[in-house]
Structure 1
Amino acid sequence: MLPRPTALSWLWLSLAVLVVDQVSKHIVLAHMRLHESIPVIEGLFAWTLAYNEGAAFSFLADAGGWQRWFFSGLAVVVSTMLVLWLARTPRGDWKTALPLSLVIGGAVGNVIDRVRFGHVVDFIDVHWNGSHFPAFNVADSAISVGAVAMIVLGLFGGKPAGTGR
């Protein structure tokens, strides 16, 4: 009997997220100075180069350096667990595979930054009436969209494809 096809083929999406993330960061680093801001939509959106040594919303950014390796290790462990989850997921179960693949690609993108630079490169700056959302990047967006999709599709997506349940 042939092994059933798994959702590991969805890792192409993780790779695409990783490539777009790293290329966008390379472009920003090559053309902008730290804290430089280039308005895209006045009063709403700008490219602003920032470095984040912590986690989401700069959590533990000033912790002294240990957080670089902690968050890198955590992302590697979580990504490995998500790849194993993909390996047990039927290929046709896109409601599981899509969000997992987005999170994996984003997590690996930010790990690369932490290992290379000691911080994550952020550059997407959304603001309104003087209030700024913390700067983020393509990897952060993929992680957020993947996590929300996992919750929404898990709650409202019905039964996974190919499970026979």
Structure 2
Amino acid sequence: MSETAITFRQSGVRWLWLAVVIFIADISIKLVVMDNMGYGWANRIEILPFFNLLYVHNYGAAFSFLSDQAGWQRWLFTGIAFVVTGMLTYWMSKLPAKEKWNNIAYAMIIGGAVGNVFDRVVHGFVVDYLDFYWGNYHWPAFNLADMAICIGAAMIIIDSFRNKEQK
């Protein structure tokens, strides 16, 4: 067996399968939403007293940050996602595969970032479809990719506190 195959098996890069699963699930859901739902808030599907499904476009980043700009933000966020994905993949290659917590966190961020980059490159916007609300206050719409990124980031933050306590 070559040294590269051994390194792949022993390194955290082995966890990239999770990023692929998140990417495929995210893109699949977005395609179903785009093909089967009318666009906009008027076409939302009420699921629970605090949750709707809907189909909206996000031209910005999280919470529609910079969505009102002329379009340059599309390429800025795409570039940032590529840099972060490369950096996290590199870090995964340095971690042992048995270091599950961080490898899972990195894979979740990568899967979500690539899912949203796909949207930005192919459509020019990110498809959002989850709407949680309380009364008249609606949390900004989001998607599975956004959830994966946030959960992965939270895991990294939690790990930073866990490591301090262990030392």
Q: Same fold (TM over 0.5)?
A: yes
- The reply to whether residue 84 of structure 1 matches residue 90 of structure 2 is yes
Code of the aligned partner of 2:88: L
CA RMSD of aligned residues (A): 1.9
User: Where does residue 127 of structure 2 map in the other structure?
Assistant: 121
Structure 2 residue aligned with 1:46: 52
Question: Is the contact made by 1:8 and 1:83 (CA closer than 8 Å) also made in structure 2?
Answer: yes
Q: Deviations over 1:89-122 (max 9, x none)?
A: 1110012101000000000000000001100000
Number of residue pairs matched by the alignment: 160
Is the 1:95–1:157 contact (alpha carbons within 8 Å) kept by the matching residues of 2?
Answer: no
Identity over aligned pairs, percent = 39
- Secondary structure of the 2:73 match is helix
Q: Is 1:11 aligned to residue 16 of structure 2? A: yes
- What residue in structure 1 maps to residue 28 of structure 2? 23
Secondary structure of the corresponding residue to residue 90 of structure 1 = coil
How does 1:1-165 map onto structure 2 within 5 Å?
4=7, 5-35=10-40, 36-42=43-49, 44-156=50-162
- Rounded to whole Å, the distance in 2 between the matches of 1:23 and 1:38 is 19
User: Once the 2 structures are TM-superposed, how far is the Cα of residue 153 of structure 1 from its aligned partner?
Assistant: 2.0
Take 2:64 and 2:12, find their aligned partners in 1: how far apart are those partners?
Answer: 33
2:102 is aligned with what amino acid? T
Q: In structure 2, how many angstroms separate the alpha carbons of the residues matched to 1:107 and 1:40?
A: 27
Relative to the length of structure 1, the TM-score reads: 0.92
Between the aligned partners of 1:50 and 1:156, the Cα distance in structure 2 is 38
Identify unmatched segments of 5+ residues in structure 2: none
Does the 8 A contact of 1:37 with 1:48 survive in 2? yes
Distance in 1 between residues matched to 2:126 and 2:67, nearest whole Å: 11
Q: Deviations over 1:74-101 (max 9, x none)?
A: 1011101000000001110012101000
**Which consecutive aligned stretches of 4+ in structure 1 deviate over 2 angstroms post-superposition?**
157-160
CA distance in 1, matches of 2:26, 2:164: 31
Which amino acid in structure 2 is aligned with residue 39 of structure 1? E
One-letter amino acid matched to 1:143: I
Deviations 1:9-30 (A, max 9, x none): 1000000100110000010001
TM-score normalised to structure 2 length: 0.91
CA distance in 1, matches of 2:115, 2:165: 31
